[in-house]
Amino acid sequence: MEFFTSSDIKRPVRLSEKTREFAYESINFKYGLDALNTPFVQLHDTDGMSDIAVYDLAVREIVSKAPVRICDGELLSGAATLGDSIRHVVPVRNAEGKNPIFGVSHLTADFFTVLEKGINGIRRDVEESLKNHTAPRKVEFLKSCLNCIDCMQLWHARYIDALSEKGGYDRNIENLKRVPFEPARNFYEAVQSVWFCFAYLRLLGNWPGIGRIDVMLGKYLKKDLENGTITIDEAREILAHFFIKGCEWITGKPTNSGDAQHYQNLVISGIDENGLDVTNEVTYLVLDIIEETGISDFPTTVRVNKNTDKALVDRVSQVIRFGGGTVAVYNEDLVLRSLVKMGYEEKEARKFANDGCWEVQIPGKTFFTYVPFDGLAVLQKKTLKNYDGTADFDSFEALEQAYMCDLADQVGLVFESNVLSVFEEDRKTFKKTRPCTAVSLFEGGCVEKALSYFEGGPVYNVISPHIGGLPDVVNSLYAIKKAVFDEKLVSFSEFMKILADNWNGNEELRRHVINSYAYYGNDSDEVDEIAVNILGSMADACEEYDRKTPIRIVGGVSTFGRQIEWAPARYATPFGRKAGEVLSGNCSPTPGTDKNGAAAIIKSYCKADLVRQHTGAALDIGFIPSSIGSDNAVSALSGLIMGFVKLGGFFMQIDTVDKNTLIDAQKNPENYQNLSVRVSGWNARFVTMSKQWQDMIIERTK
């Protein structure tokens, strides 16, 4: 059996045939389809109950009634077997057939504490906190925490019983006896402990990230290897089962943005809080497993800095060659500068991971959400007044400044609608909101404060306005600058009328602005300076509202595919695109405007002060598989990664796929069931995406 690859190079074989078979059947929908057969459990008699009481009942019903799944030959136990969890809701339905409770995502859980203290250690923390709090809501929350722990024990006991009844799983039973309730003692227990807690959160409809898995597990493996209780091949098998069981939600069913969008990212390598390199055997095992199986359901980001060992960078490049877009890169040096500038202590900043997508955060301590907005819509509808003829500027500088003011107003709207709305009138006290106790158990600060994840419990609380369509704004302003103010081909008012008419009757001018100007992504200082100015103004606007409440307000740049939903409301652009076209994604050039290759794209992107985009600014880069198939090409790709770090990039997603392959997959999906592509902070199997999303991926691919 072979796993799909976009490359002509065959994937290596290291895992046992049995494990490879398990991976193959998991990737090919076996367990995801099984979950759809039992989507939810029914809730009864909740009238008059508080919201937390309803949540507690829901958790108990789920762990008592969810099917227990034991896969043949599995090395790890625990599974999120209810289909509604895949949809990001707590999998219970009320008498009306509705899901009354939503899940939580865009966070990374604190699995470190589980490994070090065990769930019983967390229970003791809850019991201690109960002694310190008397407010009814806080007491109810803490008792809900104890209920979630009790329910985990109930679920755990069901698995022990099922394994015993099935027979042949003595090793699993022995390994599962202590964890996750007591501290892990070895690598096998540590992997099982993290998996069981992760699966528990998923069972309850949440989509948590995992974070720095090599830091979590590395010390256990090192000790076991040194004392001879495990071999590196045995460790690879165990960790591979973690990846394989993480494919339990693959259904093959079409969705708009594709499957596998469950925000379960991993972060590997980088430095620890003392500045020492953490790269270890687990780092390389993660890359081995991705390379061999092509499992893309755990997007993995490597923290690379100027001192990263060349051997690791080359290994990353080798894995990237096989396609799927599973492995991405953080410029650790810049991210750390950004977090320290934001106000984190250096040792704390060095712990960073992400929110399960790619926005950076301190894992296990952070409430986070981002608020996206269309920067191109701000230009077209506010600054240029819907092209209705009322906007008038006598210089490019005046136009640019007007846009910066409108951008600041947009950030202000985010603050009013998304930040102030969560507080009482004092702007300090969080309003009561929906319960999410299970997640709160795994977020530092919640138990100590007796406050849930949504009510100010975590140590850090961050809301991040994200500008989308940045390259389209830059190109629009630049085209106006050139055509109106520099070359004087047309007056400002005439240009607005042309755009209002969707370029009809002005094809010659349209071809001129398309073909005569070097837009963002071609390493042209003149146009890239506009991007620099916009992101500087964006950061200034966020700083104006930051620290006015207990929630930090810091900026970022992303689209996460929203260029598709924004397209119908967008007008014709000054750089020659007709109304309704799907344009740029994240910080990547508008499709068709980059002419000078990947290095030029990176240089354009890196000219802005990305240190001030504290939650991140994503760059998507694509390569044709044949262009990076040789050993020399691996060295070139490694050089590109290190150049990205040196120039001051933030986050780079690299995919390897051929446009013709995607077109054929669109026509013959049955031949490409496991073709994975990078979408944004997640990967998706191409054939599960809607045609509109597929077209977007094809358009951005060389």
Q: Name the pLDDT band for 671 (thresholds 50, 70, 90).
A: confident
What are the phi and psi torsion angles at 346 (to 5°)? -60, -40
Q: What is the CA radius of gyration of the chain?
A: 26
Mutual angle of helices 111-132 and 213-227, in 10-degree steps: 110
Per-residue pLDDT, 59: 99
How confident is the model over 611-634, as a mean pLDDT?
88
| Residues 287-313: tens digit of each pLDDT | 999 999 999 999 999 999 999 999 999
Per-residue pLDDT, 702: 60
Per-residue pLDDT, 583: 97
How confident is the model over 486-498, as a mean pLDDT?
98
Domain total in the chain: 2
Per-residue pLDDT, 318: 95
| Residue 11 located in a structural domain | no
Three-state SS letters, 280-320: CHHHHHHHHHHHHHCCCCCCEEEEECCCCCHHHHHHHHHHH
Look at phi and psi of residue 145 and say left if phi exceeds 0, alpha if psi is from -120 to 50, else beta. alpha
Which helix (H) or strand (E) segment is 369 a member of?
A: strand 366-374
Please tell me the pTM assigned to this model: 0.96
| Residue 347 located in a structural domain | no
Range of the domain at 78: 38-206
| Residue 321 located in a structural domain | no
Q: Is the CA virtual torsion 188, 194, 200, 205 positive or negative?
A: negative
| Residue 404 located in a structural domain | yes
Say if residue 163's pLDDT is above 90: yes
The last residue of one of the domains, among 158, 189, 206, is 206
CA distance 298 to 265: 5
CA distance 154 to 615: 38
Say if residue 257's pLDDT is above 80: no
Say if residue 680's pLDDT is above 80: no
> Which residue from 75, 72, 83, 40 is spatially nearest to 58, judged by alpha carbons?
40
The last residue of one of the domains, among 184, 206, 228, is 206
Among the ranges given (131-145, 161-175, 327-341, 655-669), the one the predictor scored with the smallest mean pLDDT: 655-669
> Which residue from 332, 317, 212 is spatially nearest to 275, judged by alpha carbons?
332
| Residue 311 located in a structural domain | no
425: its two tokens: 């009138």
> Considering the chain, what is the average pLDDT of its residues?
96
Say if residue 260's pLDDT is above 80: no
Task: Calculate what percentage of the chain has a pLDDT beyond 90.
Answer: 88
| Residue 48 located in a structural domain | yes
| Residue 688 located in a structural domain | no
| Residue 450 located in a structural domain | yes
Look at phi and psi of residue 246 and say left if phi exceeds 0, alpha if psi is from -120 to 50, else beta. alpha
> Which residue from 528, 404, 512 is spatially nearest to 478, judged by alpha carbons?
528
The last residue of one of the domains, among 206, 232, 257, is 206
